[in-house]
């Protein structure tokens, strides 16, 4: 079976110093890059997603002046800003595609994103004949979780590489990994560092 790698939202605003920083985000960028150096040839395609929010408006209630950190958040990953850029330690040279999500609405799953040709992530993966998907990135307890659950629901064999993910909080990240395992994902520690 053909395997792909999905790198979820490894962006400046989700790493140290960003608007919604996850502890360990910068290290995850470096570790994903090392994983690609070691195992990049194992993947038929490498796709990265990015939050890419509109500068105007609240993006469907996603942005709020007093966020609840469940359904609403501080302003982050606004299209064209430094916060929306990939973390500088993420090696993007291996990317075969990029999808952008959250353009005016609160998207969490990378499968809600589209590439430059307006193809959904599902189409990108189907075109590459991917059946197995490794999922890594930020945040374990939000967009990684949502993306992996979507992949499972679409029939992909999913493996979450847990040490190549960073979450908002240890408890919610552990709960997300348990939920994903119960839903049928493999949770694997690859030990890159």
The stretch 98-114 carries a mean pLDDT of 94
- pLDDT at position 69 is 85
Catalytic residue among 91, 101, 134, 141: 101
Is pLDDT above 90 for 28? yes
Is the pLDDT at 193 greater than 70? The verdict is no
Could you tell me if residue 192 is left (phi over 0), alpha (psi between -120 and 50 degrees) or otherwise beta?
Answer: alpha
**Could you tell me the pTM of the whole model?**
0.96
Q: What is the mean pLDDT of residues 11-22?
A: 96
The CA–CA distances, whole Å, from 103 to 21, 53, 54, 157 equal 20, 5, 6, 28
**42 pLDDT higher than 70:** yes
Q: Which carries the bigger pLDDT value, residue 74 or residue 32?
A: 32
- The share of the chain scoring above pLDDT 70, in percent, equals 99
Contacts of 122 (CB under 8 A, 6+ apart): 111, 154
Average of per-residue pLDDT across 87-105: 95
- Per DSSP, 155 falls in state T
Residue 104 pLDDT grade (very low, low, confident, very high; cuts 50, 70, 90): confident
Average pLDDT, the chain: 95
143 is catalytic: yes
| 101 carries an active-site annotation | yes
Report the pLDDT value the prediction gives residue 73, as an integer from 0 to 100: 87
SS3 114: strand
First to last CA, the chain: 27
| Catalytic, out of 9, 13, 107, 141 | 9
What percentage of the chain exceeds 90 in pLDDT? Answer: 87
Residue 68 has pLDDT above 70, yes or no: yes
pLDDT per residue as tens digits for the range 134-177: 999 999 999 999 999 999 999 999 999 999 999 999 999 999 99
Mean pLDDT on 61-67: 90
Residue with tokens 């007093």: 66
Q: Is 127 a catalytic residue?
A: no
**Beta carbons of 3 and 125 less than 8 angstroms apart:** no
Kindly list the structural domains of the chain, giving each domain's residue range(s) and its CATH number in brackets, ordered by start.
3-188 (3.40.50.850)
């Amino acid at each position: 079976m053909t395997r792909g790698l999905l790198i979820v939202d490894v962006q400046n605003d989700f790493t140290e110093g960003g608007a919604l920083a996850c502890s360990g985000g910068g290290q995850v960028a470096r570790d994903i890059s090392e994983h690609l150096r070691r195992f990049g040839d194992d993947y038929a395609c490498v796709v990265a997603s990015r939050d890419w929010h509109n500068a105007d408006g609240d993006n469907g209630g996603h942005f709020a002046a007093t966020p609840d950190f469940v359904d609403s958040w501080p302003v982050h990953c606004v299209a064209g800003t430094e916060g929306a850029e990939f973390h500088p330690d993420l090696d993007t040279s291996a990317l075969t595609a990029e999808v952008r999500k959250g353009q005016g609405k609160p998207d969490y799953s990378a499968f809600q994103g589209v590439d430059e040709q307006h193809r959904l992530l599902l189409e990108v993966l189907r075109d590459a004949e991917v059946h197995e998907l490794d999922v890594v990135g930020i945040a374990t307890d939000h967009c990684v979780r949502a993306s992996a659950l979507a992949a499972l629901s679409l029939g992909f064999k999913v493996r979450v590489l847990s040490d190549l993910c960073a979450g908002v909080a240890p408890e919610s990240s552990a709960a997300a990994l348990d939920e994903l395992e119960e839903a049928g994902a493999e949770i694997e520690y690859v030990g890159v560092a």
